[in-house]
Structure 1
């Protein structure tokens, strides 16, 4: 990636994971009726949790910094950081490096885009005349990397042009029948395995084909692209922090709530009282799920009681018990990447709601019993569905668009010709 503009060491060879140039959370609804893509500006300041990269051994006790720096401690750290910031469970991880953008744009035969004016960005080397173009190879990379050429010339403006690019790619897939042609989709998935870094849950051609099938079920008018709302960092004008409305946007995604109506219009025009789609977690046999149950209360035997209740309901006999490292006031069920469905199955068996679940950096499921559950084997009050989020607030200031907006051109920044570096 050094030759394509990526970070390089003194030897000219990229080392380690580097920092993330672009970060997006992609949610496909349980019923495959809608999807939401949320970009998180790379200049967002947040707390990075304690992490250790299993590949490089590099670790951190945690720090406050730019969200994109978490990737330097491995993909699991980046996932944990985004989950900690948003509260959104992350099931899978996909990394596309600069050479991967080149390969994927070539694999699809180029992506059609248009720009509102002539643009020349000497940073990304993007140079296009006003109007429509089909971009592939390095030209596609230059387009998605340009931050000075579009919008207000910042990282926030760049996310909008990236959404235009991805929307155009999706429309091309669908109009050409690529995602319904077995031969074509196999070739695309095969190319993706060479261009992408993914977690084990997506690490094969067949699994990527299954993902493509899920995407194909969602109408383009119900695919919403958003950018996390931000506010200026009071301590650094070059950075941003989570802004008003962002927490509501996070909630709509975490609760499987669509940002479009059935007709494909933005949810900003829909009633804020609309009911969210009911999550339908993929079924995972209880016999395949083992839980580490830790007692965080002062009541003796709580972990054993809950563990017995789980095995009585058919959960794995590999379920174990222990004392929590420290007293806990709130019961939590923590799970590793790709284990959300298992956690939901265990939570349902115990009467826990979604608010008790959180993703961690570990690999298994750990239930810490807090003082809010002093007795019994079913959580007091049982599980309850979260109240629907206000979708008007969720998309306010999020630059929301849908993938069916084919006539939208990337708005060139006032600079038009960017020559800030020479």
Structure 2
């Protein structure tokens, strides 16, 4: 996403005569594109004909150049490597249909998922599908990584952007460094990041060490790393949008050149013109309405070093699919994310319905109740036979439960004329003779209930890109080793007196 925002700056150059046209052609020659082949699904337009944009941003651990080998290490025995590597960074970037807000969701690399059957169109490498670590899908091409995440989340992925180690260095250098804060002294002996407590401006290799550090922050795992990456990316977004960067022609040239050389994109973004169009859309979103989140996870019961999709993740996925903002116009958390849902938007997970069969057709109540639970309605939804045959379908609700009734009615395609307030409690749907088949009322237009945005941001480490004072939390645990001795990152910093700080 940051690379795409950065490309927006090239508009300043491309609008000039002579050099602008030469530079346009130069940038087009930099871009490497790969076919997506429709593996990410497709978006649906809203009532005004506008469509959201979903981009999968991947950071590859591939050492496919001498520069990557030098920066990433691991080439002493293999030399420069071939193939795509693993997707060590995976972020789904969602830009709303009206371009007013964005959600950036990181997916931890250690997540275990079902990878679908895939074939890399460039290398011919293929798989019949398997259960494994999510980042490994990139070995079968970027389109396979897209297909895997689409299958996991249900989110249509329109585009992808892939970046390698050298790309991070080029981008951070091009903007003159990125300012980040750490909560304590930190030395990650694995990524080699070494910084004193406080604020630092990171360039080049120091920037790469920061975004790669998984033992220095949080709990010392990939989950902690995603939060520190969000802090870094938020700072880079603010730098991109700063007046100094926008008005410096040299910075614009360097940034655009670095961005296009570092990218592999899908063929839908395979030209400067297409990237600029996308960048223009992205740049409309204010930083206070860009929400960074991390997919909720739970420990893998069969492997303590891996995770699986956790509670709340489905709500986060649904909020993106449904194009629901996680912030308000002021940039604060949405009312649904920070307070009890309003009467007109009660999440399906909080709604239980007693479904009664008022027809002579066996199984009608079970059919409709099953459809509700499949849409995320409460597992407390039950079935029964109506006390007497019913001609007309009705949904009766108790005092204060009109919002819940509206959620159920929307899911079932029932108009307001079918809703009645009763004297009891809870919701009771009586299926009448006017609805003899299917799980949607005849002639009705069903729509699944809105996602629970409070659950969507719960334990998702949500923060907006304008939160400049957030520091990366250094791990308090013994997550690193120095000379074979387990230490906390702060202890390692104190002990490593002979090693210079990364920003020295």
Whether TM-score is above 0.5 comes out as yes
Residue in 2 that maps onto 1:408: 470
How far 1:202 sits from its partner (Å)?
1.6
Q: Deviations over 1:272-318 (max 9, x none)?
A: 34989xxxxxxxxxxxxxxxxxxxxxxxxxxxxxxxxxxxxxxxxxx
User: In structure 1, what is the equivalent of residue 459 of structure 2?
Assistant: 397
Which residue of the partner structure matches residue 39 of structure 1? 106
Alignment partners' CA distance in 2, 1:257 and 1:88: 13
Assess if the C-alpha contact under 8 Å between 2:167 and 2:258 holds in 1. Answer: no
Cα distance in 1, alignment partners of residues 76 and 141 from structure 2: 18
Aligned pairs (5 A) from 1:206-221: 206-221=273-288
1:272 to 309, 330, 341: 341
In structure 2, distance between residues paired with 1:181 and 1:217: 21
- Structure 1 gap ranges (5+): 277-379
- Tell me the secondary structure at the aligned position of residue 23 of structure 1: strand
TM-score normalised per structure 2:
0.60
Aligned match of 2:390 = none
> Does residue 261 in structure 1 map to residue 328 in structure 2?
yes
The 1:384/1:16 distance shift into structure 2, 3 A limit, reads same
Residue in 2 aligned with 1:327?
none
**Over residues 36-63 of structure 1, what are the superposed CA-to-partner deviations in whole Å (9 max), with x where a residue is unaligned?**
0000000000000000001111100000
Tell me what 1:307 maps to: none
Q: Which residue of 2 aligns with 1:296?
A: none
TM-score (norm 1): 0.71
Match of 2:396 in 1: none
**Would the alpha carbon gap of residues 180 and 255 (structure 1) be closer, same or farther in structure 2, given more than 3 Å must change?**
farther
| Counterpart Cα distance in 2 of 1:226 and 1:17 | 26
- Measured after TM superposition, the shift of residue 189 of structure 1 is 3.0
Alpha-carbon separation, structure 2, partners of 1:11 and 1:387: 52
After superposition, what is the alpha-carbon deviation per residue over 1:134-183, rounded to whole angstroms, capped at 9, x for unaligned?
Answer: 11100000000000001111110110000000000111112226468888
Per-residue CA deviation, residues 331-369 of structure 1 (Å, 9 max, x unaligned), is xxxxxxxxxxxxxxxxxxxxxxxxxxxxxxxxxxxxxxx
Q: Distance in 1 between matches of 2:81 and 2:343?
A: 49
* Offset, 1:9: 8.1
Paired position in structure 1 for 2:316: 249
Distance 1:97 1:391 in 2: 33
Question: Secondary structure, in 3 states, of the residue corresponding to 1:409?
Answer: coil
Contact 1:109 1:136 in 2 (8 A): yes
Number of aligned pairs? 322
Q: Which of the pair has more CA radius of gyration?
A: 2
Once the two structures are superposed, the pairs formed by residues 216-365 of structure 1 within 5 Å of their partners are: 216-267=283-334, 268-270=337-339, 272-273=341-342
Q: Aligned in 2, Cα 1:186/1:238: closer, same or farther, shift over 3 Å?
A: same
Find the counterpart in structure 1 of residue 176 from structure 2.
109
The 3 A distance-change label for structure 1 pair 275 and 169 is farther
Structure 2 CA distance for partners of 1:2 and 1:205, relative to 1, 3 Å: same
CA distance in 2, matches of 1:416, 1:119: 12
2:208 corresponds to which residue?
A: 141
* Match of residue 40 from structure 2: none
Q: Is the 8 A contact 1:179 1:213 kept in 2?
A: no
1:12 to 79, 82, 85: 79
Give per-residue Cα distances to partners, 1:8-41, cap 9 Å, x unaligned. Answer: 4843112101111111111011111000000000
Q: Measure the CA separation in 1 of the matches of 2:277 and 2:218.
A: 35
Rounded to whole Å, the distance in 1 between the matches of 2:344 and 2:134 is: 32
SS in 2 for 1:31: coil
What is residue 271 of structure 2 aligned with on the other side?
204
Q: Is it true that 1:67 corresponds to 2:131 in the alignment?
A: no
CA apart distance, 1:4: 1.4
Higher RCO structure, 1 or 2 (CA under 8 Å, sep 6+): 1
Is it true that 1:3 corresponds to 2:62 in the alignment?
no
Q: Distance in 2 between matches of 1:264 and 1:172?
A: 19
Distance 1:403 1:114 in 2: 14
Structure 2 stretches of 5 or more lacking a match? 1-67, 346-441, 485-504
- In structure 2, relative to structure 1, the CA distance for the partners of 1:127 and 1:415 (3 Å cut) is farther
Partner of 1:99: 166
Q: Distance in 1 between matches of 2:75 and 2:156?
A: 33
